Chain A
Amino acid sequence: MSYINSYCHISNDTVKINGENSTSIDSDSIEEIIRELYLSLELKYSKFHKMDQLSKIAFIGTELIKQANPEISKSGENDIALLFSNSRSSADTDIKFQESYQNGGIPSPSLFVYTLPNILIGEIAIRNKWYGENMFTISSIFDSEYYANYCNILIKKNAEAALCGWINVDDDKIEAFFFFVTKKDLKQLNLPLDSNMLEKIYRQD
């Protein structure tokens, strides 16, 4: 058995932590929204600006989950599994990379490195020095059953906690949901992890 200790929704106009509105967003373009969210974190991480949109949102969501779970820093460096998925893979960056070489242009190396969706897991691992299990899957809809099953499996096997996320971004829409699962109930929300519960909180947005 494992427990959901916090969760976070990010959309174009709001950030919700554990289902409660935490930040309203005033910006319009996706780029400005992401910038506004980054500034609201009040931290300096120069690598952030080099990331693609998908990694930037993953980074912001992870920082928000960390703020809601100060305990997270006590986890061992091998003990946090990172499980992410979406429906669009890295399409947003794939389009930009293809544009860079079409019509005789030079393919951009800094775009190409972000044409794999699991790069966002690497960014989170680098930022936090987390060496645990990695997994990026692609599914057409948020698959609560997979998440509940696989979190429980890894937590039973070789992780103390799992940070999970579902992130889609395109030219005009951000849809992101993050949740943090631990072996021990930290008694923050009293939410045992199962697929029905997960589906319910995912849909709270």
Chain B
Amino acid sequence: MEKLKRELKEQIIELLNLEDIKVSDIGDDTALFGESLGLDSIDALELIVLMENGYGIELANPEEGKDIFATINSMADYISKNKK
């Protein structure tokens, strides 16, 4: 699980071009869409692509993403339960 969380942080930084952010800046419980990372609605859609490309998980509705992408913990939790 720790490996997955680290991998997610690296992928998010790379995928969403968070140049000024380091892995150590993202806590497992940091709100991804809060002030600290400043992600927006397009980033949320890009995370849906990451779920499909990286973990084979398809989200039917972007609304589902709201809870799943809340924190690294919630993402890792969802991936480990649904990974194909």
- A134-155 interface with B by 8 A CB criterion: none
A44 and B52 CA atoms in complex are apart in Å by 32
B19 touches A113 (CB 8 A): no
**Does the CB pair A109–B18 fall under 8 Å?**
no
How near does chain B come to A35, taking the closest CB pair, in angstroms? 9
Residue pair B53, A109 in contact (C-beta under 8 Å): no
Count residues on chain A whose CB falls below 8 Å from chain B CBs.
11
Number of chain B interface residues as a range: 10 to 19
Q: Does A200 count as interface, using CB distance less than 8 angstroms?
A: no
Give A48 to B20 CA distance when docked, in angstroms.
11
Q: With A and B bound together, what is the CA distance between A49 and B16 in angstroms?
A: 9
**Does B19 lie within 8 Å of A49, measured CB to CB?**
yes
Give A198 Cβ to nearest chain B Cβ, in Å: 35
List CB contacts (< 8 Å) of A39-70 with chain B: 44, 46-50
Residues of chain A contacted by B18 (CB below 8 angstroms): 46, 49
**Once the chains bind, are B17 and A49 in contact (CB under 8 Å)?**
yes
Check B19 against A108 for contact (C-beta < 8 Å): no
Q: Determine whether B77 belongs to the interface, using a CB cutoff of 8 Å to chain A.
A: no
**B4-12, B41-49, B66-74: which one contacts chain A?**
B41-49
- Give, as a whole number of angstroms, the nearest-CB distance from B11 to chain A: 14
A113 engages B42 (CB within 8 Å): yes
Q: How far is the CA of A108 from the CA of B45 in the complex (A)?
A: 9
A106 contact set on B, CB distance < 8 A: 49, 52-53
Contacts of B17 in A (CB 8 A): 49-50
CA distance A108 to B53 in the complex (A): 11
Other than the given A46-B19, A49-B18, 7 more pairs (CB < 8 A) read A44-B20, A46-B20, A49-B17, A49-B19, A106-B49, A106-B52, A109-B45
State the 3 A-B residue pairs at the shortest beta-carbon distance, nearest first.
A109-B45, A49-B19, A49-B17
